[in-house]
Amino acid sequence: MTFSNRASLTRYAWLSIGAAIVTITLKGIAYWLTGSVGLLSDAIESVVNLVGAIIALTMLTIAAQPPDEEHLFGHSKAEYFASGSEGILILVAAVSIGAAAIDRLIHVHVIEQAGIGLAVSVAASLINFVVSRILLRAGRRHHSITLEADGRHLMTDVWTSVGVVGGIAAVALTGWQALDPLVALAVAGNIIRSGFQLVRRSVAGLMDSALPADEQQAILQVLDRYVPQGVQYHSLRTSQAASRRFVSFHVLTPGSWTVQKGHDLLIELEAGIHAVLPDTTVLTHLEPREDPASAPNPAVGH
């Protein structure tokens, strides 16, 4: 995917921003009508959604910039800052929700106009559900961890709303007011789990983790096609930066080959890898097979 096409992904961030503004308004109204701390927790998470969407927009814009003299491999890792920041914001929201829920357990408040409040909250949840599905599909299709993180966060918000609505309905049916803050505490626990997952995945990306096993296997299948021709390889290394993959390896050919023949082979290998793994930067090093200095580097492996 070209850098200009990556820039088009910002429209999904704008969609998320619009959805967050609408849901904050609806959930704020629901809280004002009912006084439910569960709905308050839901509204707080929507504020986090808005901040996360703004960060996503900023980082997607940066990630779409082409390589320059200071960033020769591009700016795609900026997406990890977006997902990591959103994960941290989720954790902050969880702490706020937990504090509000504990306070409400101590100072019981009677929920009012539960029916109207629930209807408004359900409407907001439907908006989040539709937008989250759009973001998740776009994230997978364009290999954008930022859009995927935003979509998963919105789905967490949807499940949060389901729990809150269930808690308020239970209060309305049983009259036990403590159910509302208890549900809010459960919501906070679920949000913490989601936040840690986002932060962990972002850290893994920034630490240049290797490509998934299935993608590494696809690379090996391409390289193995040339083994019958007397070609060997070693020092295979892989990493991923959001939508871009990076692959490097050494190729060993018979010393009798001409430079042109070896060069043509490398072009074929790179084309084969690009065919199975688009958006991949491939770095190769050609070596004569008979030279003892061409032995694998123990520090790298293979």
List per-block mean pLDDT (blocks of 10 residues) for the chain, which spans 302 residues.
Answer: 60 88 85 72 75 81 73 68 74 75 68 64 86 88 78 77 71 70 74 76 71 90 90 87 81 90 93 89 89 62 46
At 122 the pLDDT is 81
Contacts of 98 (CB under 8 A, 6+ apart): 184, 185, 188
At 218 the pLDDT is 93
Cβ neighbours around 189 below 10 Å, total: 11
Residue identified by tokens 């997406």 is 79
Cα 241 to Cα 246: distance, rounded to the nearest angstrom: 8
pTM, to two decimals:
0.59
Domains and CATH numbers, the chain: 3-206 (1.20.1510.10), 213-294 (3.30.70.1350)
Cα 162 to Cα 186: distance, rounded to the nearest angstrom: 12
At 261 the pLDDT is 92
Q: Taking the CA atoms of the chain, what radius of gyration do you get in angstroms?
A: 25
Amino acid identity of residue 180, one-letter, is D
At 151 the pLDDT is 84
At 2 the pLDDT is 47
**Cα atoms found within 13 Å of the Cα of residue 60, Cβ hemisphere only:** 28
Q: Cβ(285)–Cβ(250) under 8 Å?
A: yes
At 4 the pLDDT is 46
Closest CA to 82 of 198, 217, 171, 210: 198
Q: Cβ(135)–Cβ(166) under 8 Å?
A: no
Residue identified by tokens 């999904």 is 12
At 186 the pLDDT is 76
**Is 51 exposed, middle or buried (CB count within 10 Å of its CB: 0-12, 13-18, 19+)?**
middle
